[in-house]
């Protein structure tokens, strides 16, 4: 039954959701893949480069479940965009030899949508919910008994005659992915048996990913070209693949044969990507912080307005890498540009703020 307290919470969530942009802009800023990219997606643990600790744990997790002939425990992956959450979810299904049904938090609008997905699963199947932090509260509450006891509670009727029907569900595994673990409610987070954080990739892992992709794309990539591209790849496989394709375009158009460091550098310069892998928007964010707000602290909302970017895009797409590089700090009072950021942009520290906004 839906209690009074949960309906109050529901209102809170609805209000919060209204403040969010209709669609996540992440996809626009970091374009997702078409056909070619699907071919680049690793299909097994062996193809999945890096994230060694997570892979080791997952192998044990899967092996144990297989031995006991059980479905694996519910698992959640979190970390910045493009690090391989969707990829690893699909690999788990392959390694377990089970079917995977994919959906996403914002796609499940009503309780009935989730009900029909759950009742159509088979024993052992994986239900993959991407952007799980964006599930609406009433849908999320249906997930609790489904995850814990494999039961689906449905409220039939309205008002005083309303009653709850309980259906048995198959032994499914929920695999969740999110860029924001903190936005998940505690009851939902607690129902996952394993929580894995995806780390930014080491440079030699990115180099290996680039080399693997070059083989699949049938383009010739020299060692120094791979090094050059991997430095600019934001320690992120999706970005690495994208840069490789742009470098390949450049090499093809200019009849340069293989991608060596010179070709890679020219292609990166054309894309306006600097030696730290910063794109124009990254630079605009730290430039705005320094030039308009004297280095901060400044609230995300203000920073978004001043840079004409969506708050969510800044938070999900740009900030994680800027924080990882030590160029930006998130503090309770707002975002701050670090000394390194001043240095990278060649700005003297304590330069007077431009009086544009202040």
Ligand X SMILES: Nc1ncnc2c1ncn2[C@@H]1O[C@H](COP(=O)(O)OP(=O)(O)OP(=O)(O)O)[C@@H](O)[C@H]1O
Active site residues: 85-86, 130, 179, 238
Minimum CB distance to ligand X smaller for 42 or for 145: 42
Minimum CB distance to ligand X smaller for 82 or for 115: 82
Q: Is 33 a residue that touches ligand X (CB under 6 A)? A: yes
Which of 6-14, 65-73, 79-87, 220-228 is the region at the interface with Mg ion (rule: CB under 5 A)? 79-87
Number of residues binding to ligand X, judged by CB under 6 A: 22
**Mapping DSSP to helix (H, G, I), strand (E, B) and coil, where does residue 54 land?**
helix
* Binding to Mg ion in span 204-263, by CB under 5 A: none
**Mapping DSSP to helix (H, G, I), strand (E, B) and coil, where does residue 222 land?**
coil
Q: Is 233 a residue that touches ligand X (CB under 6 A)? A: no
**Cα–Cα distance, 164 to 59 (Å, whole number):** 40
Q: Is 199 a residue that touches ligand X (CB under 6 A)? A: no
Minimum CB separation from Mg ion for residue 36, in Å?
Answer: 17
Provide the edge-to-edge strand list for the sheet that holds 100-104: 100-104, 126-130, 173-178, 75-78, 194-197
Sequence-ordered list of residues with C-beta below 8 angstroms from that of 128, at least 6 positions apart, any chain: 86, 89, 90, 93, 100, 101, 102, 103, 175, 176, 177
Minimum CB separation from ligand X for residue 135, in Å?
Answer: 16
Q: Is 179 a residue that touches ligand X (CB under 6 A)? A: yes
Q: Is 87 a residue that touches Mg ion (CB under 5 A)? A: no
Which letter does DSSP use for residue 193 in this model?
Answer: S
Q: What is the dihedral of CA 330, 333, 337, 338, to 10 degrees?
A: -70
Quick one: what does residue 241 bind among ligand X, Mg ion, none, with the CB cut-off 5 to 8 Å set by partner type? ligand X
Q: Is 238 a residue that touches ligand X (CB under 6 A)? A: yes
Closest to 129 measured CA to CA, from 144, 151, 114:
114
**Cα–Cα distance, 247 to 286 (Å, whole number):** 27
Minimum CB separation from ligand X for residue 199, in Å?
Answer: 11
Beta bridge partners of 307: none
Q: Is 41 a residue that touches ligand X (CB under 6 A)? A: yes
Q: Is 105 a residue that touches ligand X (CB under 6 A)? A: no
Applying CB under 6 A, the residues found at the interface with ligand X are 33, 37, 40-42, 48-51, 81-87, 177, 179, 209, 237-238, 241
Applying CB under 5 A, the residues found at the interface with Mg ion are 85-86
């Amino acid at each position: 039954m839906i209690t009074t307290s949960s309906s109050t919470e529901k209102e809170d969530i609805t209000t919060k959701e209204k403040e969010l942009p209709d669609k996540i802009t992440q996809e626009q800023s970091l374009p997702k893949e078409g056909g070619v990219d699907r071919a680049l997606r690793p299909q097994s643990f062996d193809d999945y480069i890096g994230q060694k600790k997570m892979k080791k744990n997952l192998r044990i997790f899967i092996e144990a479940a297989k031995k006991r002939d059980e479905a694996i425990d519910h698992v959640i992956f979190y970390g910045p965009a493009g690090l391989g959450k969707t990829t690893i979810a699909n690999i788990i299904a392959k390694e377990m030899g089970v079917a995977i049904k994919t959906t996403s938090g914002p796609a499940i609008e009503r309780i009935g949508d989730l009900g029909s997905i759950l009742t159509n699963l088979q024993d052992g199947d994986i239900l993959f919910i991407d952007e799980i932090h964006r599930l609406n509260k009433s849908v999320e509450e249906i997930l609790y008994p489904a995850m814990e006891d494999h039961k689906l509670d449905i409220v039939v009727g309205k008002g005083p005659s309303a009653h709850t029907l309980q259906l048995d569900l198959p032994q499914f595994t929920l695999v969740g992915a999110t860029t924001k673990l903190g936005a998940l409610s505690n009851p939902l987070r607690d129902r996952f048996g394993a929580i894995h954080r995806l780390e930014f990739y080491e440079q030699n892992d990115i180099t290996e990913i680039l080399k693997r992709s070059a083989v699949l794309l049938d383009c010739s990539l020299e060692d120094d070209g791979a090094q050059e591209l991997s430095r600019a790849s934001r320690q992120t496989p999706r970005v690495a693949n994208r840069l490789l394709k742009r470098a390949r375009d450049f090499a093809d158009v200019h009849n340069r044969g293989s991608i060596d460091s010179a070709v890679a550098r020219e292609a990166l310069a054309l894309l306006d990507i600097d030696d730290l892998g910063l794109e124009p928007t990254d630079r605009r964010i730290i430039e705005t912080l320094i030039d308009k707000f004297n280095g901060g602290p400044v609230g995300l909302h203000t920073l978004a307005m001043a840079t004409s970017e969506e708050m969510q895009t800044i938070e999900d797409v740009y900030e994680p890498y800027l924080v990882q590089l030590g160029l930006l700090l998130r503090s309770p009072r707002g975002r701050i540009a670090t000394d390194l950021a001043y240095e990278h942009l060649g700005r003297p520290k304590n330069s007077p703020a431009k009086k544009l906004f202040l």
